[in-house]
């Protein structure tokens, strides 16, 4: 079946690293994405990883992909209060870039 | 550069009423999508249009219809609203194909009483 699972909440202190985890079930997914949603706004693409990669780094963001365990993680280094938001992982279906299966979202709370 | 614009931002309907949610993008994107967001369930795809002149069902199409009016505009219609359609609706667009990121509008919050 198609299912993307995330934990619902994560709380960290400002300056710490945050790690948001995601598991997916469809091994045929070609791209995996991380989106960020701030209150009252739409989703904004943070980063994505192609399925033949196991790591991608982009400034403070590091994405790790373990295809064997179907596990995806997003690490945010030096987390700031402006990083407080809901983070969604998503997997692509077929070769249609916009047909995504989203997880439930992880609400990240950053305390000063 | 407006990106993806959705109207209205908020709407309250009574059961059985109809309405159309409007979406327009100014990025010359080929593909457009309608998603709904419900608490604890992430986003689910309702309908999409891979290119002008085509539309296809997504994961949860029942109770909805869509129109790809032209390359810029993609509307979502509720013919007879039900309380189960209370949700936040997001329109998105992409240039199409694998790896093309979605660009989202800010959403329409719909309540059906």
What integer pLDDT is reported at residue A104 of this predicted model? 94
What integer pLDDT is reported at residue A94 of this predicted model? 63
How would residue A28 be classed by pLDDT, with cut points 50, 70 and 90?
confident
Q: How far is CA A67 from CA A48, A80, B71, B84, B100, in A?
A: 15, 30, 37, 36, 21
| Residue A105, φ and ψ in degrees, nearest 5 | 95, 140
Nearest-Cα distance to chain A for B80, in Å, is 26
Beta-carbon separation of B102 and A98 below 8 A: yes
Cβ–Cβ under 8 Å, residues A77 and A62: yes
Q: How far is CA B68 from CA A95, B23, B49, B57, B75, in A?
A: 21, 10, 7, 13, 7
Closest by Cβ to A42, choosing from B44, B50, B90:
B90
pLDDT score of A1 more than 80: no
Q: What is the pLDDT of residues A102-112, one digit of tens each?
A: 999 999 999 99
Q: In this structure, what DSSP letter does residue B59 have? A: S
Please report residues of A whose CB lies closer than 8 A to that of B94: 97-98
**Residues A57, A62, A67, A68, CA torsion sign:** positive
Residue of A nearest to B49 (CA): A98
Question: CA-CA distance, A25 to A47, in Å (whole number)?
Answer: 20
Nearest-Cα distance to chain B for A17, in Å, is 24
Between A41-45, A87-91, B81-85, B98-102, the lowest mean confidence (pLDDT) is in B98-102
Closest by Cβ to B104, choosing from A42, A50, A101:
A42
pLDDT score of A53 more than 70: yes
Question: CA-CA distance, B92 to B74, in Å (whole number)?
Answer: 10
Question: CA-CA distance, A108 to A21, in Å (whole number)?
Answer: 12
Mean pLDDT by 10 residues, chain B (113 residues): 91 97 96 93 93 93 96 97 97 84 93 97
pLDDT score of A70 more than 70: yes
């Amino acid at each position: 079946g198609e299912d993307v699972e995330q934990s619902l909440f994560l709380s960290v202190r400002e300056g710490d690293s945050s790690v948001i985890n995601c598991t997916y079930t469809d091994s045929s997914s070609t791209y995996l994405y991380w989106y960020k949603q701030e209150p009252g706004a739409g989703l904004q693409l943070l980063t994505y990883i192609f399925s033949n990669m196991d790591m991608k780094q982009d400034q403070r963001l590091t994405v790790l992909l373990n295809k064997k365990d179907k596990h995806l993680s997003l690490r945010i280094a030096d987390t700031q209060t402006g990083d407080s938001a809901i983070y969604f992982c998503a997997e692509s279906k077929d070769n249609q870039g916009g047909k995504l299966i989203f997880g439930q979202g992880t609400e990240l709370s950053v305390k000063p | 550069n407006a990106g993806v614009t959705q109207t209205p931002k908020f709407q309250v309907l009574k059961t059985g009423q109809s309405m159309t949610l409007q979406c327009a993008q100014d990025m010359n994107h080929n593909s457009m999508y309608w998603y709904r967001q419900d608490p604890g369930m992430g986003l689910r795809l309702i309908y999409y249009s891979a290119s002008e002149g085509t539309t296809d069902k997504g994961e949860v199409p029942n109770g909805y219809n869509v129109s790809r009016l032209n390359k810029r505009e993609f509307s979502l219609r509720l013919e007879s609203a039900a309380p189960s359609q209370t949700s936040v609706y997001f329109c998105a667009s992409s240039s199409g194909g694998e790896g093309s990121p979605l660009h989202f509008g800010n959403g329409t919050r719909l309540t059906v009483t």
